[in-house]
Structure 1
């Protein structure tokens, strides 16, 4: 007869990267678990010596709290993924599959995140599907921030759009629950939101303490647009939604040294330290401006790669002291909602970057962006198998 294993016998779990939710990550790492409680963390050799009778219970790539999906679009979760150049992806995927966008897709995405045990989510709620916000706010298994997306490139409509956005945000904020998702704001991009509307939105958010995300410098064409007032982004626009010139959108003439980040900084839109998403096509001066503003950034490595947007300058942002988080963007551009897939891909793109930095960004960086707290893996804390990536 086989003697059953003692459920309270110590187990030793080893890994390539250990992040406990505190400080920096370490490599290699190990955790000793007794029953369902963490007994110790540290270097594998030290724990083997301290717990000689512990049974080795497996080696893992990463042991860490569940990663945070700091930027995604859950209302596109039933889209079919396609890797295409940016200016083909917009009409052939985003527009072609627009009937799939909405609350049912957001529910499906939220269910996926729950099944993955995600540590939190920063979701962008499309301006023209506000029912998504009501749907997601009602969920009890979701934490993070739901950013209501605002668009409007016509300066003369800025006041009207701002009133609508503020009325909706004020109502949704009354529906927030302790432990549930918070309501935030997302002025879409510096070129789809007029200078007047961008100022109104960011000043309001800063005054109300609302978390903010802005898509910035995703594609190289965005640099060309601010430098020249033209290029593919302007050519591919829908004229009915834009004034006659790009100068009217941003309230100043384009110029060679003007970048999207500098424009936001000059406008005062960085005073509230909004989180900037993508920031792939930036200059050293842009990175310095982001650091001075105290803004965090979110990178979506697979989406950047699939849409041929370029490679996020991770090392340069880290060297400047900027907090980096990780997101999947939409299923349509990223391929899945699992940030662990994003981390694995990031390690192939950023080969020289210490993998401990990437893991910490996916956990601590995400929680800092969303204003939430990562669970700690330390002596006396409850153990969860979701810590095994």
Structure 2
């Protein structure tokens, strides 16, 4: 870089995340990395001063669960409040077999949409193979199949995806694995995914406890999911009910054997299951607020999960159940519709908690000395913290200030 390699950014607020919001804050950046964060002092101002004015500086957002391959959809599939099992059947029929190239284009389209609205790390569930992985993305190979043949085929693609995109030191892995859901992935296949996650020291994500119908299928082999799977011509008696006493508990125990497990949705977790997740610090829950709202599920246990000290992150899910891929829209939805949540927690779920869930706490989700200076800004004229939250619920993310302006210098 030929211009000054040291900049001082000043803003009305700086939000480090691991610490209180700083009014009239400054962040000193040296060669693309944060040197320090504090309240503004003129004497300490070093290098080029960039006064960002009436904004809050935040770390880039982390979208801990999405399916970018649906990014071509102009609006969600089906209608609000529909039964999840019916929606899934509709998604399967509307998608048909999208070819490989179209999928890749959809992923890039979704990636562009997400990053334009301030997201700087994305956990994307993908139908492998994918030619290339978009920047700042962890690509989870989706594994599913109620037939041996389909399961084996998805599994071998996933193993190839991991072999091509993980390194032995696993510091910068961009690949992970995702057994899809308990209604689409038989138990032995889920067990194989856990084994692979352990071998590759990578993250595993799975849709779990998404609706009461899922529990009914696993426990009794009946209900809306059983009907839907039958309609698709699948031999459900061969797989359901599970022969385990408490199928969801059994599943949590199994997933917890992975180095890091993302339990996606968790809309229907019982108190006992919440206690169980709490006993495994390597497990995080990923809540998708606007998708939850689309299905009109009963109140999400997010407050109970946070109270239990569980790491909760948020995701947008896909455009098949959400109007867009703007993670800040999820933050705003929660600030407006869940007054029972502490706004600080809401912001953490969109930043640090997501980075922690994905094993990226050293590079994403917080602003701290030594970290890459990738940040975003949100307009605010707040003088007090409570005004800040009310501005956040209406102001959109204005820019990914640093993500293109200054890249951290390569480590020698």
For the pair 1:309 / 2:305, whether they are aligned, the reply is no
Alignment counterpart, residue 205 of structure 2, candidates 213, 218, 233: 213
- Aligned-residue RMSD, C-alpha: 3.5
Shift of 1:13: 2.0
Return the alpha-carbon distance in structure 2 between the equivalents of residues 167 and 35 of structure 1. Answer: 42
SS at match of 2:184: coil
Match of 1:174, SS state, is: helix
1:197 corresponds in structure 2 to 189
Do residues 165 (structure 1) and 129 (structure 2) align?
no
Structure with greater proportional strand content? 2
| CA gap 1:213/1:241 in 2 versus in 1, 3 angstroms | farther
The equivalent residue for 1:75 is 69
Residues 310/33 of structure 1: CA separation in 2 closer, same or farther (3 Å cut): same
| Higher mean C-alpha deviation, range 281-290 or range 28-37 | 28-37
Q: How does 1:103-122 map to 2 (within 5 A)?
A: 103-122=104-123
Spell out, residue by residue over 1:131-174, the C-alpha distance to the aligned partner (whole angstroms, 9 max, x if none).
Answer: 4x223x2x4xx1231111111234xx27x734752354235532
Q: Does 1:19 find its partner at 2:15?
A: yes
Instruction: State the TM-score, normalizing by the size of structure 1.
Output: 0.78
The equivalent residue for 2:229 is 237
Number of paired residues? Answer: 356
Alignment of 1:270 with 2:256, yes or no, is: yes
Q: How does 1:1-389 map to 2 (within 5 A)?
A: 12-15=10-13, 18-21=14-17, 23-24=18-19, 26-27=20-21, 29-32=23-26, 41=37, 47=40, 58-60=53-55, 62-82=56-76, 83-87=79-83, 89-92=87-90, 95-98=93-96, 102-126=103-127, 130-131=128-129, 133-135=130-132, 137=133, 139=134, 142-154=135-147, 157=148, 161-162=151-152, 165-166=155-156, 168-170=158-160, 172-175=162-165, 182-238=174-230, 242-245=234-237, 248-249=239-240, 251-252=242-243, 258-260=246-248, 262-265=249-252, 268-272=254-258, 273-294=260-281, 295-372=283-360, 373-374=363-364, 377-378=367-368, 386-388=376-378, 389=397
Superposed displacement of residue 241, structure 1: 5.8
Structure 1 gaps of 5+ residues are: 1-7
TM-score, length basis structure 2: 0.74
Q: Structure 1 residues 67, 320: CA separation in 2 closer, same or farther (over 3 Å shift)? A: same
- The secondary structure found in structure 2 opposite 1:189 is coil
Q: Which has the higher helix share?
A: 1
CA deviation after TM superposition for structure 1 residue 252, in Å:
0.4
